[in-house]
Chain A
Amino acid sequence: MSIKLATSQPPAPSRRELRFGAAWPYSPAKEGTGPVRLRERYEHFIGGERRAPEGGVYYATVSPATEEPLAEVARGDEADVERAVHAARQAFEPWSRLPGLERGKYLFRIARAIQERARELAIVESMDGGKPIKESRDFDVPQAAQTFFYYAGWADKLTHAFHGRPVRPLGVAGQIIPWNFPLLMAAWKLAPALACGNTVVLKPAETTPLTALLLSEIIEAAELPPGVVNVVTGFGDAGAALVRHPGVDKVAFTGSTAVGKQIQKALAGTRRRLTLELGGKGAHLVFQDAPLDQAVEGVIQGIFFNQGHVCCAGSRLLVEESIADALLVKLKARIQTLNVGDPLDKNTDIGAINSKEQLERIQALVAAGEAEGAERYSAPLPVKERGYFFPPTVFTRVAQSSRLAQEEIFGPVLSVLTFRTESEAVEKANNTFYGLSAGIWTNKSARVFDLAGKLEAGVVWGNTYNQFDPSSPFGGYKESGFGREGGRQGLASYLHVG
């Protein structure tokens, strides 16, 4: 007796649907805000002191989940930037002359303090930015600590890093960071700059200043010399003032490609150093032989991590046509299990969209996609009276020429396209002016190594996605920016190498 199996082909599409949710709902599991003691008002951190804004203006930073103001924050202007750059300049000489080992020990202290205040930082990150507590707790904060730990260890090894070539720090670094990973981006910027002997003026994003300000408290408590790190909060005008300031020797920016281009133009001809980490339109390439269930997980992680507010988000799913239907069945089932809601609930998978402006931008692009004829599938969104939320959304029948496939949405929206051959997949993946990231899903590792060479992207993941490590360089090709953060290569962004 012999039994024939029908499993050699991936399962065919089916109307047989799984039901999720009602039988055993999770009870609310809200992270207590006990460890958090926010002040009513935060000043700039300049020259080791809390300094009121020259213009006397404060603005409220708002929780995107509740629309409640969390604290008042100084709104910086040119005069504040001037003072901060001055303080950084004053601090540069002694800081850069400090033995690398001693600079490193300051950074180790910061790393340890982040670990000690991890829970508080995670909660504030979720309150201020809207990301789920499980991500701020398990990703943002531990990675921030690890980043300081990692670059702390480089401070006394810089001569090794460039094979004996002489190195010296650049001077004052002006660093402008985005709202999607507020603390982690601060760590990515500060840790290598400080390890290399630079001093810093950091400008956090206007919607998410709080964890950078808490970090400035940690830095103060770690007894870093005054002026080595300065934090000026505020809006784009403060950032622009920092970029234009002639006392800034190096600008590091993470944010949109549009602003990145403005910065590059502003610095044109000045010989001031620049690194840009800009937008992306990352592609997953899923082949017929892929471990399909794990590919689905990777696609989910790739686009819905941090509400899709990730520059390297896998926002395009390129799937081999022969398995497209089977993949979509799984994807749609999986999306139903994503919990959208209160960022502070430990079971939330997708939190709040960072701001009203961003929510409107996502809504506009989604409407455009529908108008262009793409087919929309969204998971149901629990009714919320307040806050900015958007359901996990998948578009199928997306044309390569549509706005959905071309523009960075920076939200929980995935566009699905199909391909027939490997070369078509590569062509479609590369057919964008971005070049930050790509993911390859296949059971054939020879394909991973082959495509890794052919994809125009700064980071290529094989059978995984959205993996980060301070020891691993990150950055873009093409209009996704230049310069690398992380790893040995990340040091080069903050050194003159002879």
Chain B
Amino acid sequence: MIHFENIGLRYGTGPEVLQDISFNLNKGSFHFLTGKSGAGKTSLMNLLYMGRRPTRGRLTMFNKLIHEQSRNDLIKLRRYVGVVFQDFRLLDHLSAFDNVALPLRIIGRPEQEIKQQVTELLAWVGLGDYLKSTPPTLSGGQKQRIAIARAVINRPRLLLADEPTGNLDDQIGMRLMYLFDELNRMGTTIVVATHNLNMVHELGHPQLHLSDGTLHYIPGTNGRG
């Protein structure tokens, strides 16, 4: 589904922050993206959600060669990807409902369908009573769940999460990971960037480990990778 082949990325005329990255992500797989700060995790995530094009190499996303796609085509491809950011990036002026509804409104779904889907999903993540609440009035955990709901409302083929447990205590963090696991069992391909090695070992999914801009594949221990 996603194929990286000798991918390199540099910003402007600076040095390459990613070098010769090659890996495949199959449909329904679950990977952790690990590595120290500055190793290139955010840059790799950026490539995965097509926020940037690679400087070199062949990147295939959903069977489309990225360098052959126009800007508008890339925008449409992004609709297959859900992203959960470390800092949530919720829109503070919108209610929880409207934040989650955003991806559906972008693709022009009817309001009635949006209302039904968003209400159901927010109830599923335990925020059925907070539809009209705005992010500044919610706790970190609640914001995180809204961010996840927003990322998955459009049933993305690929779900990316950047340090999703970074702002949460361990117990809530693990519950969140089980939620991702559940989505993965439903067929969503998942990549979670994290520093939390305890969680990585506990769940046992394979790792894409970045070190100084290069990638090392570490097989999983749960037999699903």
Whether A and B are associated in the same complex: the answer reads: no
Q: Which residues of A contact B (CB under 8 A)?
A: none
Q: Which residues of B contact A (CB under 8 A)?
A: none
